[in-house]
Amino acid sequence: MSLLFDLTLRGSIAALVVIALDRIASGMMAGRSRRWWWCFIPIAFLVPLRVPMLPGPSRLPAVAMAWNHTLMKIPNGVTSAGQTGTGHAFLAEGLWLIGAIAYVALVAVQTARASRRWSRERLSTDHALLELLEDCKAETGVTAPIGLVISNSVPSPAIMGWLRPRILIPASLADSAHIGEMRPIMLHELAHFRWYDVPFSWLLTVVRAAHWFNPLAHAAAFAWARFREEAADEAAMKWMRDDSGQAYGMALMQTLRQTRNGSVPFGSLAIVESVGQLKRRITMINRCKDRAPRILLAALVSLLLTVVVFSKAAHAVGSATGDQKAAVFSGIKTWLAEVDGGKYALSWTDASSLFKTQVGSDKWVEMLTDVRAPLGKCVQRAKVSFAFEKNPDPKGVIKGDFAMVQFESSFENMKHAVETVAFFKEADGTWKAAGYVIRP
């Protein structure tokens, strides 16, 4: 579950940054430049790259963990604590799984209903509208076959599907609007197809299913829906080659007059969903000619988002070189292998001088025998985070350079555990163990 919480934390930060930046830049930057920012949201929520989870200096005095027996002991005995930790983990995992399955099931049922309903609709044979659709496809560079459905069941123009895309047009609009008014509507829906808005919306649905408990995951999807309509408006105006935006705005107003209350088919992208949204879009249309690509600004923002999403690397490097990090991690692996193998006295011998001044060899062996031995064999150990810190003791007594590493581990008698290891840089430049703690 820690991976899920790490991802949802990072995704939330990325969502807040993207939504805020998009609002700020919407009046001056073209949608095609801002569009790339939104790609960071599903990456942050779904790609399992970890953010640092090491406690800060005020919470983890490196050496204190080595000699403070009460901190190393697992409450109520190793076995019961392991079972309790596992039980809590299973409970959290169970709740998350129930929510995710329920969300996926709801989406699957609605998708199946919509697919079954609209797959039965006959494609339009209206020659004028089909000619217009082909002309618009040529203008937008779309070559995929796209069907056209005229129906009384759809309240607003929309595009539905990706593998078998359909543009849905209300029958009342098709009957009353002339070809000039239908052209911007066709261009708008083709913009969604051209810029992969349908599959991207489904990707955000996956994000919402995996992070159903996080309101920011849902807020990001709603913000994306607002952005994609504004971006499609901008693209349609560009293809219309009408700088004033008057023709496009009139087409939207005509669409609103002909639409009625009702929900669009599930999974489709509708051109008009609310009057309030339309008002904002008309305002943005009037500013469209003032927006420029601003490639440099878009690149700088993308760099910022890269740092946010992949912050683990930026945090972990610290002031140390790659060679130091490799040396520390190699020493940690060797030292943990001694602990795993029951060579407790040897692990004390190979520890740092700072470690040895805080805990004697016999005491260390006794502590590990009480706490570590009952856990059994280490089945799996995965590094969560790696960071260098200086003078981590909040009281200022302990001074020097420390490497703080955290692992998610699984033992025979404790399926879910967190191991934290602190290494200290000796005067001769070598890195040796300074602290070790296991928690369920």
Contacts of 272 (CB under 8 A, 6+ apart): 156, 157, 252, 255, 256, 259, 278
What number of other Cβ atoms are within 10 A of residue 405's Cβ? 22
Contacts of 295 (CB under 8 A, 6+ apart): 33
Query: How many Å apart are CA 142 and CA 161, to the nearest integer?
Result: 15
Q: How many CA atoms lie within 13 A of 27 on its CB side?
A: 5
Of the candidate ranges 299-313, 327-341, 375-389, the one whose mean pLDDT is the lowest:
299-313
**R_g (Cα) of the chain, nearest Å:** 29
Q: Which of 39, 44, 40, 37 has its CA nearest to residue 8?
A: 44
Strand order in the sheet with 269-270: 147-151, 166-170, 158-160, 269-270
Q: Give the Cα-Cα-Cα angle 93, 13, 206 (nearest 5 degrees).
A: 50
According to the model, what pLDDT value does residue 230 have?
85
**409 within 8 A of 420, measured Cβ to Cβ:** no
According to the model, what pLDDT value does residue 85 have?
43
According to the model, what pLDDT value does residue 203 have?
95
Above 70 in pLDDT, residue 278?
no
In eight-state DSSP terms, residue 37 is G
Band of pLDDT at residue 29, cut at 50, 70 and 90? confident
Band of pLDDT at residue 147, cut at 50, 70 and 90? very high
pTM greater than 0.75: no
Above 90 in pLDDT, residue 80?
no
Average pLDDT value for residue range 34-56 = 72
SS3 content of the chain, % helix, strand, coil (to 5): 60, 15, 25
**395 within 8 A of 377, measured Cβ to Cβ:** no
Above 70 in pLDDT, residue 124?
yes
Q: Is the dihedral of CA 95, 96, 102, 106 positive or negative?
A: positive
Above 90 in pLDDT, residue 268?
no
Query: Of the spans 172-186, 209-223, 237-251, 421-435, which averages the highest pLDDT?
Result: 209-223
According to the model, what pLDDT value does residue 107 have?
93
Of the candidate ranges 54-58, 99-103, 169-173, 256-260, the one whose mean pLDDT is the lowest:
54-58
DSSP letters of 266-331? TT-EES---HHHHHHHHHHHHTGGG-B--HHHHHHHHHHHHHHHTHHHHHHHTTS-HHHHHHHHHH
Kindly report the average pLDDT of the chain as a whole number: 78
Above 50 in pLDDT, residue 313?
no
Band of pLDDT at residue 280, cut at 50, 70 and 90? low
Domain ranges of the chain: 64-93+316-439, 105-286
According to the model, what pLDDT value does residue 222 have?
92
Band of pLDDT at residue 218, cut at 50, 70 and 90? very high
What number of other Cβ atoms are within 10 A of residue 312's Cβ? 19
| Three-state secondary structure call for residue 208 | helix
Q: Which fold has domain 64-93+316-439?
A: Nuclear Transport Factor 2; Chain: A, (3.10.450)
Band of pLDDT at residue 73, cut at 50, 70 and 90? very low
DSSP letters of 117-179? HHHTSPPP--HHHHHHHHHHHHHHT--S--EEEEESS-SS-EEE-SSS-EEEEEHHHHHHS-H
**34 within 8 A of 17, measured Cβ to Cβ:** no
Contacts of 225 (CB under 8 A, 6+ apart): 201, 269
Above 70 in pLDDT, residue 103?
yes
Question: Per residue in 12-46, is it b (16+ CB within 10 Å) or e — as a string?
Answer: bbbbebbbebbeebbeebbbebbbebbebbbbbbe
**Tokens 């998708």 sit on residue:** 111
Of the candidate ranges 33-42, 153-162, 244-253, 353-362, the one whose mean pLDDT is the lowest:
244-253
> How many angstroms separate the first and last alpha carbons of the chain?
13
According to the model, what pLDDT value does residue 282 have?
63
Q: Which of 284, 188, 286 has its CA nearest to residue 246?
A: 286
What number of other Cβ atoms are within 10 A of residue 380's Cβ? 10
Query: How many Å apart are CA 370 and CA 368, to the nearest integer?
Result: 5
Greater confidence (223 vs 249) lies with: 223
According to the model, what pLDDT value does residue 98 have?
94
Above 90 in pLDDT, residue 316?
no
Above 70 in pLDDT, residue 82?
no
* Class of the CATH-defined domain 105-286: alpha beta
Of the candidate ranges 59-63, 263-267, 427-431, the one whose mean pLDDT is the lowest:
59-63
Above 90 in pLDDT, residue 215?
yes
What's the chain's length in residues? 440
According to the model, what pLDDT value does residue 89 have?
57
| Per-residue pLDDT reduced to its tens digit, 182-195 | 888 899 999 999 99
Tokens of 251: 């087409």
Proportion of the chain above pLDDT 70, given as a percent? 74
Query: Of the spans 98-107, 155-164, 287-296, which averages the highest pLDDT?
Result: 98-107
Of the candidate ranges 4-18, 93-107, 244-258, 282-296, the one whose mean pLDDT is the lowest:
282-296
Output phi, psi for 320, to 5 deg: -100, 160
Of the candidate ranges 13-27, 256-270, 341-355, 406-420, the one whose mean pLDDT is the lowest:
256-270
Per the DSSP assignment, residues forming a β-bridge with 159 are: 167, 269
Average pLDDT value for residue range 202-206 = 95
Above 50 in pLDDT, residue 58?
no
Average pLDDT value for residue range 304-310 = 71
Q: Give the Cα-Cα-Cα angle 134, 138, 143 (nearest 5 degrees).
A: 85
Q: Which of 138, 140, 132, 163 has its CA nearest to residue 148?
A: 132
According to the model, what pLDDT value does residue 322 have?
57
